[in-house]
Structure 1
Amino acid sequence: MTTPMLLEEAQTRLLALVEPLEVEHVDIGGALGRYLAEPLFALRHQPAADVSAMDGYAVSAGDVSGPWRIIGESAAGHPFSGSLEAGEAVRISTGALLPAGSKAVIVQEDVARDRDHLVMTGEAPRPENRHVRPRGMDFVEGASVLPAGTLIGPAQAALAISAGHKYLPVRRRPRLAVIDSGDELSPVSQPCAPHQIPASNGAMLAALARSVPIDVEQNGPIPDDLDALMTAFDAAADADVIVTSGGASVGDHDLLRPALEAWGAKIEFWRVAIKPGKPLLIASRDHGSRKQLVIGLPGNPVSSLVTAYLFMLPVLRAFLGASHPLPRAITTRLAEPLEPTGARREFLRGVWDGEAVRPLTLQDSGALSSLAASNVLIDRPAHAPALVAGESVQVFLLQNGGYA
């Protein structure tokens, strides 16, 4: 039996198997939640001309003490059509183009107006262009505004539009197949006998996967039968990623490994030194010009979600072209003490209130109640000493319902 692999090594080996999917160009709305497949360059200057950063009055350079005669107005979207001479001013609003001949803006709080006459009552701007947004302040035409691998969110969408783009290059959505297996599983549509448990993992994994833009299909529950598993794999033959729950251990009824080998898949590695989630299995299969990946997750629901968070989601992000597909931890402090850990790295369910994290008492890998109550995973290294309240810990944020 092989020695369980360290988490970072397993994640690195898995991500090395991923080849980003084909590039397609979609509108800005369709690109949200996806990742840029190529660097994005500006097609225009922003702003396209000098504009005012404040409401006030535009005057010429060196003419910031007054008095002035007001000769017109420049409003956002309605520029002043003339030009300024010394001793003249134009009323200007935030975002409006500076008139020809003007180089400074006096804010309205620093002046007094009497009909068409304007006098300084406050301090002149220092430097004179203090309240001016110069042409190209944000970016210039041809500049790189977003690197490849950037996640497209609201701000990135606005920047892309401002840079002159209507469509963005992204990777196509990955196709994910989720297979729930085990004789003990009862379909959701049927009554659950005492010797059964409801088949909840498939729905949980599909819901977690939908936090990234994918196309997902569920299949199961599949009985512990080699032919049934191979039929399920055949049904998922066009998927980029197949995720199974259950059957990845070493019991007499754990058939995932022999089913995959009979289906033509190669076992890349098996078992990771984490708790929960040790019996993780990774396989690959050549399918035409591309490689399918199979992620065999443990059947216990908490183990299944933890390993999906650490392996399934990073793989889906990598297929989408993310520059940083792995989850990122943050540092917080403990609200309660923690016991020392054993030989495996542990991920404990906890509740984080934004200032401190409280580990939940029930940590059994079959306990869905504490999983639903948690909003973080507390990352504890192997052989870590006990910690007291107030000490620092690393946590991973879960998007996990009501507490998130």
Structure 2
Amino acid sequence: MALLAVEDALAQLLDGVTALPAEPVSINRVRGRVLAEPVLATLTQPPFDASAMDGYAIRWADLTGPWRVAGDSAAGHGWAGTLQPGEAARIFTGAPLPAGADTIVVQEEIRRDGDVATLSGEGPPRIGAHIRKAGQDFAAGDMLAGAGDPLTPARIGLLAAAGHGMLPVVRRPRVTLIATGDELVPPGVAPGPDQIVSSNGVMLRALFENAGADVDDPGIIPDRREALAAAIAAARGDIIVTIGGASVGDHDLVVPVLRDLGATLDFWKIAMRPGKPMLAGRFGGARVIGLPGNPVSAHVCALLFVLPLLARLGGRTEGLPMRRLPLAAPLAANGTRRDHLRARLTPDGLAEPFASQDSALLGRLAAAQLLIVRPPGAPAAATGETVDCIMLDSIGNVS
């Protein structure tokens, strides 16, 4: 099977993928989620003419006073009376405007002596000063947010004020992680002879949960066809992600097991480095992505393919944060595969690739702030030449 270009593989993976169905979620739990449907206001805000300042409610016709203070209007406790000529009502920010009043005089411009209020400053500049009119923010029936809008803290506050306690949000994508390998032990367990700790599972789980997915991890699956087949068949979710075993060695079982189960393979092997042996296919109603076992390869493939798929399913924009940055060191000409070089950002804003790019070096991956993207056949690049970079530190957390 010929190597597939990264761009073609991603287009093929996302072809026909749409946002998942809506589910109602409490407004207290929707941070970072995406609306599945338009949301209309069920209330009017403000629901009444309200004071924007602490002061005195008056009739503009009675300016410049003095006034007899006939009552008090506070937030949550409006004055039920009606202002008569020559009267004022003490009023506080957010309180309902009493009937008959049409203007607010701020308290700093009033001198109070018992029940008599006298103007001590210039007074309000116009009729209606310092009043928030009913419906000034929104009215019942107004569309306040549309399908696909992210639920930011401000938007959550808006929709709460509009009367909503539940919101229709796109269901979280569900991912099943299947790590294979007799050499693996769980984190926190001392490895035996010829064994290593399974770091990919926890790394990818964190990456996918940060991207808004619900992740199920059934544990490490031994290198036996029947065990791997049972794990894949039992997986429940929108995406099944296998880790390791996707190449062509005698112990690489993912491809033959998927074929035994009747899964379809959309592509296998991509013209990229690291991550060439990645595969994608379908099993039942789920997308299957087979990631390489090397940590850097798994992480880079997950960034380039799983995160965009999660974004599309979750109703979000699927692009990764990109910047053009000048190089801190020269780069040799690239080969036939798109390369992704781990790099740091220097204090003066240059992209500095690490000397070693071994796909098993987790230390270099953890220290990387960006990936320098080198297209297939890219010529040598000199210091100071600008290159495309994926900004790892700018990948958002939407969980």
What TM-score range do you get, normalising by the shorter chain?
0.7 to 0.9
Following superposition, the deviation at residue 222 of structure 1 comes to: 2.9
Q: Over residues 46-75 of structure 1, what are the superposed CA-to-partner deviations in whole Å (9 max), with x where a residue is unaligned?
A: 111121222222233465655444332221
Structure 1 match to 2:334: 342
How far apart are the structure 2 equivalents of 1:294 and 1:74?
63
Letter in 2 for 1:121: G
Letter in 2 for 1:102: A
**Structure 1 residues 282 and 64: alpha-carbon distance in aligned structure 2, compared to 1, 3 A threshold:** farther
Q: Secondary structure at the match of 2:216?
A: strand
How far apart are the structure 1 equivalents of 2:327 and 2:131?
49
Following superposition, the deviation at residue 135 of structure 1 comes to: 1.4
Structure 2 match to 1:303: 297
Q: Secondary structure at the match of 1:145?
A: strand
Q: Over residues 253-300 of structure 1, what are the superposed CA-to-partner deviations in whole Å (9 max), with x where a residue is unaligned?
A: 4332222122111112234444433332111123xxxx2111111211
Letter in 2 for 1:11: L
How do residues 200-211 of structure 1 correspond to structure 2 at under 5 angstroms?
Answer: 200-211=199-210
Structure 1 match to 2:118: 118
Structure 1 match to 2:234: 235
How far apart are the structure 2 equivalents of 1:72 and 1:346?
72
Letter in 1 for 2:168: P
Q: Secondary structure at the match of 1:24?
A: strand
Q: Over residues 169-226 of structure 1, what are the superposed CA-to-partner deviations in whole Å (9 max), with x where a residue is unaligned?
A: 2344443210112344344465324643211111221222222554422234334443
How far apart are the structure 2 equivalents of 1:396 and 1:41?
37
Structure 1 match to 2:256: 258
2:393 to 380, 386, 397: 397
Structure 1 match to 2:373: 380
How far apart are the structure 1 equivalents of 2:208 and 2:272?
21
Identity %: 41
- Greater gyration radius: 2
Structure 1 match to 2:321: 329
How far apart are the structure 2 equivalents of 1:168 and 1:395?
32
**Structure 1 residues 220 and 51: alpha-carbon distance in aligned structure 2, compared to 1, 3 A threshold:** same
How far apart are the structure 1 equivalents of 2:90 and 2:25?
42
**Structure 1 residues 75 and 199: alpha-carbon distance in aligned structure 2, compared to 1, 3 A threshold:** same
How far apart are the structure 1 equivalents of 2:53 and 2:309?
47
Structure 1 match to 2:57: 58
Partners of 2:19 and 2:312 within 8 A in 1: yes
Q: How many residues align?
A: 390
How far apart are the structure 2 equivalents of 1:339 and 1:85?
83
Q: Secondary structure at the match of 1:47?
A: coil
Q: TM-score, normalised by structure 2?
A: 0.83
Q: Over residues 234-268 of structure 1, what are the superposed CA-to-partner deviations in whole Å (9 max), with x where a residue is unaligned?
A: 221x3321111112234454332222122111112
Q: Secondary structure at the match of 2:299?
A: helix
Does residue 245 (structure 1) correspond to residue 239 (structure 2)? The answer is no
Q: Secondary structure at the match of 1:210?
A: helix
Structure 2 match to 1:89: 88
How far apart are the structure 2 equivalents of 1:275 and 1:129?
67
Q: Over residues 141-196 of structure 1, what are the superposed CA-to-partner deviations in whole Å (9 max), with x where a residue is unaligned?
A: 11111211233343333222211112222344443210112344344465324643
Letter in 1 for 2:119: V
Following superposition, the deviation at residue 331 of structure 1 comes to: 4.7
Structure 1 match to 2:79: 80
Partners of 1:175 and 1:216 within 8 A in 2: yes
Letter in 2 for 1:247: G
